[in-house]
Chains A and B, each alone.
Chain A
Amino acid sequence: MTVAARGATAPGTMAGRPRVSRQLLKTDDMKGYALVSPALLTVLAGLGAPIVLLVLYSFWTQNYLTIDHTPTLANYITIVTHSIYIPVYVRSVAISLAVTLTTLLLAYPVAYFLAFDVKRNKIAWLIVITLPFWTSYLLRVFSWKLILGYNGIINSGLKSAGLIDQPLEFLLYNPVAVYLTLVYGWATFAILPIYVSLEKIDRTYLEAATDLGDTAFERFWRITFPLSLPGVSAAFLVIFIPTIGDYVTPAMVGGPNGSMIANLIQSQFGKANNWPLGAALSVFAMLTVTAIAMLIVWATKRMTERIG
């Protein structure tokens, strides 16, 4: 699966060929670039150039119906000084971190089960566990609106059971509903990276630890868990990045108090029609995500180095 593949093909593991001669290297350079160029040009045209434009836009300003191209920090100043923007960023980071940590906790035992307990029919187990993830994201999010809604399953169920008279309104349209729905939407995605790193652990280490008198818990804490850290950190990024930028879930179950960065950005390109401010909000989001992602990568490196 994709995540498994991503874990297995980290840049560090790329085919390392001995450098035979300058001449050969030259041809390797050429062959490599010739092969990768269609993909690379597509990405440069479709992502590189647009992101440069996005950054430029963030320094321009909306002047009623036209764009003022004089470079200015006005949009960034607006973001920092207006009381509506920063709280949405803080909320997004908080929700997304909570979602990521919860999914990691939920997924770890599943990955452990797959790696160590399942001996036969691994593929069948993997398919059963990852299947819901591949059915429409929109519909999976929507299913939580059906569950939590004013006339939804919980409320109508409790009502017909005679436990409540009035529907419970606190279920939907708040940050908790966003958190729950995101956990549901992404729970399976954390399993594969962790599974791959557990599966790679040399089983003789575990036997050695047992022979040397480690209890099952010590063995887990001193060998299995540290060796699975690269998978845990990969899973962290795989969940954190898309959840912090998620538009659908906050829009569907968040209500005004549960909206997140993507909703804020989208409204600048829609109703509010202030593209430069939207661009600045996007750049700000990109920087936030990159900073947190780098922090995680750095922390994992530190932790694995200490163990090694």
Chain B
Amino acid sequence: MSTVRSWEGEGGKRFRLGYILAFLAFLYVPILLLPLFSFNDAIYVALPLKGFTTKWYGQLFANKVLHQTLWNSLEVALAASLISTALGVFAAKAFTRYEFRGQRLTYGMVMLAMILPEVLVGISLLLCLNALGIPLGLHAVLFGHVLFCLPFAVSVLMSRLEGFDRSLEEASLDLGESGWMTFWRVTFPLILPAIVSSLLLTFTISFDEFILAFFLSSTETTMPVYIWGQLRFPQKLPEVLALGTFIIVVSTALIVISQMVRGEEITHAR
């Protein structure tokens, strides 16, 4: 009780700030070990640090297999983000604009992948593809990623469409534009920030996704599956650390952009 008292109210403000800083340290210190040791001149990740080197990054750039998996991951993530966002735009519009019978059930179905543990999504898809005789590979991973990304795209897009002035669309229709042209010239530009943010978010989710790719990728691996395989070999470790650092930098940039685009909506949630 007294701990609650101490962080509630004006007097606890400094206490809360201290807590936040400790929390941030807890979040950042472990992950920052990767970049730190990626420049360390030793195979093993152990203290004390041995010396500065960039040779692990050199190995990284010379690794042909890695380039192929990077390319696989980029392809899948790009396609998954485009498809799930496209599906999401129409679904979000249906949920926010129209009241139709079975709407709740439909909404539940579309969001299902978000409330199912991912491993179950992967297993069921694996069984299904196997029963249909469809071989595994990147297209199977892509399909899984579209399913997994769709609920995220729908949420992002719905939050934008809900706070959106419908009279703008009505005005366009009254002035004689067709439904399609109204969508293209009025709705689309207005929800563009949400579309960009949905694309970046789903791209990042797909690029980072491991379980579905692990079950569905077969021999064409994506980046996380490749990393998973490399972690078994101790001598590959420094290279993985360098790769991890690279991924952290890129995904950080993508997420910062995505959040800045959407930022206004979050803070005005009230």
Write out the residue numbers on chain A whose beta carbons fall within 8 Å of the beta carbon of B23.
Answer: 106, 109-110, 129, 187
Write out the residue numbers on chain B whose beta carbons fall within 8 Å of the beta carbon of A136.
Answer: 208, 224, 227, 244, 247-248, 251
Write out the residue numbers on chain A whose beta carbons fall within 8 Å of the beta carbon of B44.
Answer: 151
Within 8 A of A (CB), among B1-40: 1, 4-5, 7-13, 16-17, 19-20, 23-24, 26-28, 30-31, 33-34, 37
Chain B interface size, as a band, is 35 or more
Q: Which residue of A lies closest to B248 (CB)?
A: A135
Report how many residues on chain A are interfacial, defined by Cβ distance under 8 Å: 107
CA distance A245 to B33 in the complex (A): 27
Contact (Cβ within 8 A) A219 B8: yes
Once A113-B16, A117-B13, A143-B34 are accepted as A-B contacts, the answer to whether A43 and B228 lie under 8 Å apart by CB is no
**Number of contacts between A and B (CB, 8 Å)?**
319
Within 8 A of B (CB), among A11-52: 11, 13-17, 19, 25, 28-29, 31-36, 38-40, 42-44, 46-51
Contact (Cβ within 8 A) B128 A42: no
Contact (Cβ within 8 A) B124 A282: yes
Contact (Cβ within 8 A) B263 A38: no
Beyond A123-B260, A149-B45, 8 extra complex contacts between A and B, CB < 8 Å: A43-B110, A47-B113, A117-B13, A126-B266, A151-B46, A188-B27, A217-B9, A282-B120
Q: Which residue of B lies closest to A155 (CB)?
A: B46
Within 8 A of B (CB), among A97-148: 106, 109-110, 112-113, 117, 122-123, 126-132, 134-140, 142-144, 146-147
- Please tell me if A176 contacts chain B, counting CB pairs below 8 Å: no
Within the complex, which residue of A5, A129, A138 is in contact with B224, where a contact is CB–CB below 8 Å?
A: A138
Q: Which residue of B lies closest to A196 (CB)?
A: B269
Contact (Cβ within 8 A) B211 A248: yes
Q: Which residue of A lies closest to B152 (CB)?
A: A2
Once A14-B107, A38-B90, A187-B26 are accepted as A-B contacts, the answer to whether A247 and B17 lie under 8 Å apart by CB is no
Write out the residue numbers on chain A whose beta carbons fall within 8 Å of the beta carbon of B113.
Answer: 43, 47
Contact (Cβ within 8 A) B158 A42: no
Q: Which among B64-72, B140-148, B170-178 touches the partner chain?
A: B140-148
- Please tell me if B186 contacts chain A, counting CB pairs below 8 Å: no
Write out the residue numbers on chain A whose beta carbons fall within 8 Å of the beta carbon of B240.
Answer: 142
Once A16-B99, A117-B13 are accepted as A-B contacts, the answer to whether A36 and B131 lie under 8 Å apart by CB is no
Once A131-B255, A279-B123 are accepted as A-B contacts, the answer to whether A35 and B260 lie under 8 Å apart by CB is no
- Please tell me if A152 contacts chain B, counting CB pairs below 8 Å: yes
Contact (Cβ within 8 A) A4 B266: yes
Write out the residue numbers on chain A whose beta carbons fall within 8 Å of the beta carbon of B100.
Answer: 28-29, 31-33
Once A2-B156, A5-B156, A36-B95 are accepted as A-B contacts, the answer to whether A147 and B30 lie under 8 Å apart by CB is yes
Contact (Cβ within 8 A) A247 B211: yes
Contact (Cβ within 8 A) B31 A46: no
Q: List 13 A-B contacts (CB under 8 A).
A: A14-B96, A33-B106, A46-B146, A47-B116, A54-B123, A117-B16, A127-B256, A134-B251, A142-B244, A217-B8, A241-B116, A247-B214, A262-B119
Write out the residue numbers on chain B whose beta carbons fall within 8 Å of the beta carbon of A135.
Answer: 31, 247-248, 251-252
Within 8 A of A (CB), among B78-128: 86-88, 90-91, 93-101, 103-104, 106-110, 112-121, 123-128
Write out the residue numbers on chain A whose beta carbons fall within 8 Å of the beta carbon of B244.
Answer: 136, 139, 142
- Please tell me if B236 contacts chain A, counting CB pairs below 8 Å: no
Write out the residue numbers on chain B whose beta carbons fall within 8 Å of the beta carbon of A49.
Answer: 128
Within the complex, which residue of A40, A50, A147, A275 is in contact with B109, where a contact is CB–CB below 8 Å?
A: A40
Write out the residue numbers on chain A whose beta carbons fall within 8 Å of the beta carbon of B107.
Answer: 11, 14
Write out the residue numbers on chain B whose beta carbons fall within 8 Å of the beta carbon of A61.
Answer: none
Write out the residue numbers on chain B whose beta carbons fall within 8 Å of the beta carbon of A245.
Answer: 116-120
- Please tell me if A293 contacts chain B, counting CB pairs below 8 Å: yes
Contact (Cβ within 8 A) A199 B269: yes
- Please tell me if A300 contacts chain B, counting CB pairs below 8 Å: no
Write out the residue numbers on chain A whose beta carbons fall within 8 Å of the beta carbon of B215.
Answer: 269
- Please tell me if A153 contacts chain B, counting CB pairs below 8 Å: yes
Contact (Cβ within 8 A) A200 B269: yes
Q: Which 3 A-B pairs have the closest CB atoms?
A: A245-B117, A216-B9, A32-B100
Within the complex, which residue of A8, A123, A219 is in contact with B267, where a contact is CB–CB below 8 Å?
A: A123
Write out the residue numbers on chain B whose beta carbons fall within 8 Å of the beta carbon of A146.
Answer: 33-34, 37, 45
- Please tell me if A278 contacts chain B, counting CB pairs below 8 Å: yes
Contact (Cβ within 8 A) B90 A242: no
- Please tell me if B195 contacts chain A, counting CB pairs below 8 Å: no
Within the complex, which residue of A1, A35, A131, A289 is in contact with B91, where a contact is CB–CB below 8 Å?
A: A35
Write out the residue numbers on chain A whose beta carbons fall within 8 Å of the beta carbon of B125.
Answer: 46, 50
CA distance A11 to B154 in the complex (A): 12
Q: Which residue of B lies closest to A161 (CB)?
A: B47
What is the distance, in angstroms, from A191's C-beta to the closest C-beta of chain B?
A: 9
